[in-house]
Amino acid sequence: MNNNKFITDDELKSFGEISNLSQKAEALLNHQKNNWDLVKQNFTALENVKIKKFEFDNFYINAQFNPSRITSSSAKVDKKSIENRACFLCGDNLPEVQKGIKYNDKYIILVNPYPIFKQHLTIPHHEHIPQNIDGALHDLLDLSYDLRDDFFVFYNGPKCGASAPDHLHFQAGIKNSTPLEHYYMHLVKKNSSVLLKDEIVEAYQIEVSFLNFILIKSQNKQKIIKLTRKVIQQLQSYKYSKEEPLLNIISLFDEDYWNVFIFPRKAHRPKQFFAEDDSKLLISPASVDMAGLLITPREEDFERLTKEHLDNIYSQVLFSS
């Protein structure tokens, strides 16, 4: 990674407090808004974003009309398309105006120029290595801890929403932006079965309607990593494959605990994504959508979306036990 891509604390100081990583990230956003017209334009547009709420038993989903996400939602992620384009997360290919914060000598924290949240970060590895969570689980947990004051961190699998499946990266969104953050404890009480519970770690299987995910909760990082790997191995055994299974992962550090949500997937995109008639819906679910914030980059899809559509789409892409 070219060192001129990293912004210094002295530069950040002019744009906000920098006492912790969350504050530095906010100062970085202010810097990029001040120096990058695209960032200023797209974050300003979020102030007028349209939201529709769909209520289900014990949970709800918000649909967000966000036209800036069209590139990500419609990204071609097949092998040939990936090989024929320059990686937009590699340092040499970043826009000249884009700057970031060095993290643990392995990552650079960047402002996402096509945001879903009022503060939205993309965190690529310095090296161009494939999107794979197994060797990076500790980084996911470290990031969610170091950004704990204001952010949660998420990982999209290479076939589950990552628009750069060839380059290891995470994203982070400002806390209290997703339905999942508001209803998950209620689902633990009402719609869960205990997979493991002792004095160190708790693990739950949560199933309600079309939702199906695993929550691992602990203050012990190594226990979470061990259990998460066990879940991944179990999912691999279903497919008789050593490849990373289809999944999304969200890590939220809250009240001194890591809360790690694992969403096993059975498909990248629903059949409506590929339709060539009036049934087409340009919806490509990833971690944020699993957290109950469904992104619709086309207004016509947003306007005609129904609960029946949501039930059908999530049932297609989420693994059911």
Q: What is the average per-residue pLDDT within 13-32?
A: 97
Predicted confidence (pLDDT) at residue 83 exceeds the cutoff of 90: no
- Between 84 and 131, name the one with better pLDDT: 131
| Alpha helices (H) in 4-159, listed in sequence order | 9-12, 21-35, 37-45, 70-73, 79-83, 137-146
Q: H or E segment at 315? A: helix 307-317
Torsion angles phi and psi, residue 252, rounded to 5: -120, 115
| pLDDT on residue 224 | 97
pLDDT at residue 99 greater than cutoff 90: yes
Sign of CA dihedral 65, 123, 292, 252: negative
User: Which two three-digit tokens encode residue 191?
Assistant: 């719609």
**Number of residues that make up the chain:** 321
As a whole number, mean pLDDT of residues 282-307 equals: 95
Is 68 or 6 the better-scoring residue by pLDDT?
A: 6
Q: List Cβ neighbours of 258 (8 Å cut-off, separation of 6 or more).
A: 141, 144, 145, 216, 217, 218, 219, 221, 224, 251, 252
Q: For the segment 213-251, what is each residue's pLDDT rounded down to a tens digit?
A: 999 999 999 999 999 999 999 998 887 677 899 999 999
> What are 144-199's pLDDT values in tens digits?
999 999 999 999 999 898 889 999 999 999 999 999 999 999 999 999 999 999 99
In the predicted model, is pLDDT for residue 89 greater than 60? yes
Q: Which residue has the tokens 């039930």?
A: 311
Phi and psi of 100, rounded to 5°?
-150, 180
221/140 Cα distance (integer angstroms)? 10
pLDDT at residue number 21: 98
Cα separation, 121 vs 113, whole angstroms: 9
Question: Which pLDDT score is estimated for 76?
Answer: 67
The band of 73, judged by pLDDT with boundaries at 50, 70 and 90, is low
- What is the average pLDDT score of the chain? 93
The answer to whether residue 81 scores a pLDDT higher than 80 is no
Residue 243: its pLDDT value, please?
Answer: 84
Cα separation of 240 and 43, whole Å? 43
The confidence band for 85, taking pLDDT boundaries of 50, 70 and 90, is: confident
Domains assigned to the chain:
3-50+78-174 (3.30.428), 179-264 (3.30.200)
Residues of the chain with pLDDT > 90: what percent? Answer: 86
Task: State if pTM tops 0.85.
Answer: yes
